[in-house]
Amino acid sequence: MREELITSGRLNPHIDPHLEIWHWQIPLYLFLGGLAAGILFFAALYTILGKEDKYPGAVRRAPIIVPFLLIIGLTALFIDLRHKLFFWQLYTTIRLQSPMSWGAWTLLAITPLSFAWAALHIREFFPNWDWKFTILKEIEKFLLQYKLTMAWVIIILSVILGIYTGILFSAFNARPLWNTSILGPLFLTSGLSAGAAAIILFATTKKERVLFAKIDLMLIGIELFLIIHMFMGFLASTEVQIEAANLFLGGSYTAPFWIFVVGMGMVVPAILEILELRHIKVPVVIPVVLVLFGSVMLRFIIAYAGQFSRWLY
Amino acid sequence: MRYAMAIDTKKCVGCSDCVVACQTENNVPIGYCRDWIVEVTDGTYPQLEIEIRSERCNHCDNAPCVRCCPTGASHFEPGGIVTVTHNKCIGCGACIASCPYDARYSHPDGYVDKCTFCIHRIQKGEKPACVSVCPTKCMYFGDLEDPNSDVSRILKKRKYKTLIPEAGTKPQVYYLI
């Protein structure tokens, strides 16, 4: 049998035998960023649609956790940096071709906005809240005046944030598994789905829960569609991408991907949500936790498997 | 000006002298390397063929590492040499993930490091360390736009290939075959 044997003298830490440069920090951040983007998207959307009073869970209550999500996510990103003291160099330039540069600038804008949005609705949780200082009261008055503008800015930034979490990976043609533009829409949809699921937890009325269960159901459908398309694209592509797809179609990531991401993270919660819509009592927390779990696993598995996939030469 | 390197796979014996020369010249931390030897054995015993390559950063014309760097630390120097400005690098690892040749690594001091074509020697008119020590003289370095440079002359005479050209990176290290 004809054989090709490649031996390399290189053994650089975190590079060989296969790339391991990104660990838990990146997928954790991608999940938190996606979830934050999802919650903010719906909060802004229902503000723009003028349905704030109808869906207070989405507009006023769920966004309260977004600043925390972003701060934890940003901390994870910071921990991941290996030359930490120079992180400010991100903000000395705008590099349009670098998704990470886009992400850094988007986060710089959306993080303070998420704080402002949460602050505007703090009385939802603490009815007697008083800002104490006149300047803070003035700021609150000013922001309330421009709330609709804020919602428009947030809705645009949240879509950029959600898509960027996927494009970050897809920009790397060196990793065949990541090198598909479907990752952008897939991660955006997954983030929106996680956001909708989180809003279900914060909803106060049955009507709002049902609406977001329906939205989540639709998003899970889109996700499954995108995943199928991703594999179709891979299998019709070059050898390296066929090999990348095979990591999930019989290879080492098959079981975790299909059980944790597709099974537990999409199919089971979809069934539970359908049951709920058919008035069969299901504790609402179960599908929500499963969707969030699937969303985390999707990012972890894509992050690790992508570093495993490579060009052979 | 377009600096490039040509490496003769028929003459290379895989002695790793280039690897050691680079590590010494550039103070590469122990356990790391900027260039390395790859051996490809092909065929069925006893009809075996072996190709030995000294590999390094390909200083690509369309370098994905430069494209994805969020701070501009990874950049092109005159002549197309790809280098990293240490105090601009935040150590995010994007360039490491973007390189299909895995030519970069994270230096223990935090920044990303790689082959520089020994730019500090080139600026003095010398050849890169690996080229100058090669005992079989299998490496050629110079300006592709100068028809009389070592690299231009050898590429005119010999057949060559580049590594993973299908990745679209337009690599500038040529392997004579």
Note which residues in 20-39 of chain A have CB less than 8 A from chain B: 21-22
Kindly give the pairing relationship between strand B47-55 and strand B3-8: unpaired
Instruction: Please state, as a whole number, how many other Cβ atoms lie within 10 Å of the Cβ of residue A148.
Output: 12
Encode pLDDT of A49-58 as tens digits.
999 999 999 9
- What is the Cα–Cα distance from A310 to B30, expressed in whole angstroms? 26
Q: Which residues pair with B37 in a beta bridge?
A: B54
Q: Do B36 and A8 touch (CB under 8 A)?
A: yes
**What confidence tier does A1 reach under pLDDT thresholds 50, 70, 90?**
low
Q: Which residues pair with A24 in a beta bridge?
A: none
Phi then psi for A198, rounded to 5 degrees? -65, -35
Q: Is any Cβ of chain A less than 8 angstroms from the Cβ of B177?
A: no
Kindly give the pairing relationship between strand B3-8 and strand B139-143: antiparallel
Structural domain contains residue A291: yes
Q: What's the total number of domains in chain A?
A: 1
| Domain of residue B59, CATH code | 3.30.70.20
Pair B97, B132: CB distance under 8 Å: no
| Domain of residue A289, CATH code | 1.20.1630.10
Which residue, chain included where needed, has tokens 């500090």?
Answer: B120
Encode pLDDT of B115-144 as tens digits.
999 999 999 999 999 999 999 999 999 999
Encode pLDDT of A135-178 as tens digits.
999 999 999 999 999 999 999 999 999 999 899 999 999 999 99
Chain B neighbors of A307, CB-CB under 8 A = 97
Q: Do B64 and A172 touch (CB under 8 A)?
A: yes
pTM attached to this predicted model: 0.95
Encode pLDDT of A234-278 as tens digits.
999 999 999 999 999 999 999 999 999 999 999 999 999 999 999
Judged against a pLDDT cut of 80, whether residue A294 lies above it is answered with yes
Note which residues in 290-309 of chain A have CB less than 8 A from chain B: 307
**What confidence tier does A313 reach under pLDDT thresholds 50, 70, 90?**
low
Structural domain contains residue A313: no
Give the mean model confidence (pLDDT) for residues A218-222.
98
Encode pLDDT of A189-201 as tens digits.
999 999 999 999 9
Encode pLDDT of B46-90 as tens digits.
888 999 999 999 999 999 999 999 999 999 999 999 999 999 999
Percent of chain B whose pLDDT exceeds 90 = 95
Query: Radius of gyration (Cα) for chain B, nearest Å?
Result: 16
Tally C-beta pairs within 8 A across A and B.
Answer: 156
Arithmetic mean of pLDDT over chain A: 95
Q: Is any Cβ of chain B less than 8 angstroms from the Cβ of A3?
A: yes
Peptide bond into A17 cis (omega under 30): yes
Structural domain contains residue A174: yes
State the residue range of the domain holding B146: 3-176
Q: Which residues pair with B54 in a beta bridge?
A: B37
Note which residues in 46-65 of chain B have CB less than 8 A from chain A: 55, 64
Judged against a pLDDT cut of 60, whether residue A307 lies above it is answered with yes
State the residue range of the domain holding A144: 25-308
**What confidence tier does A282 reach under pLDDT thresholds 50, 70, 90?**
confident
Shortest CA distance from B94: residue in chain A? A100
Instruction: Please state, as a whole number, how many other Cβ atoms lie within 10 Å of the Cβ of residue B129.
Output: 23
Instruction: Please state, as a whole number, how many other Cβ atoms lie within 10 Å of the Cβ of residue A205.
Output: 12
What single letter denotes the amino acid at residue A255? A
Q: What's the total number of domains in chain B?
A: 1
Shortest CA distance from B88: residue in chain A? A89
- What is the Cα–Cα distance from A227 to A235, expressed in whole angstroms? 12
**What confidence tier does A312 reach under pLDDT thresholds 50, 70, 90?**
confident
- What is the Cα–Cα distance from B80 to B103, expressed in whole angstroms? 16
Q: Is any Cβ of chain B less than 8 angstroms from the Cβ of A4?
A: yes
Distances (CA, A) of A162 to A49, A143, A185, A187: 21, 24, 8, 7
Q: Is any Cβ of chain A less than 8 angstroms from the Cβ of B20?
A: no
Structural domain contains residue A130: yes
Kindly give the pairing relationship between strand B74-77 and strand B81-84: antiparallel
Instruction: Please state, as a whole number, how many other Cβ atoms lie within 10 Å of the Cβ of residue B13.
Output: 12
Structural domain contains residue A10: no
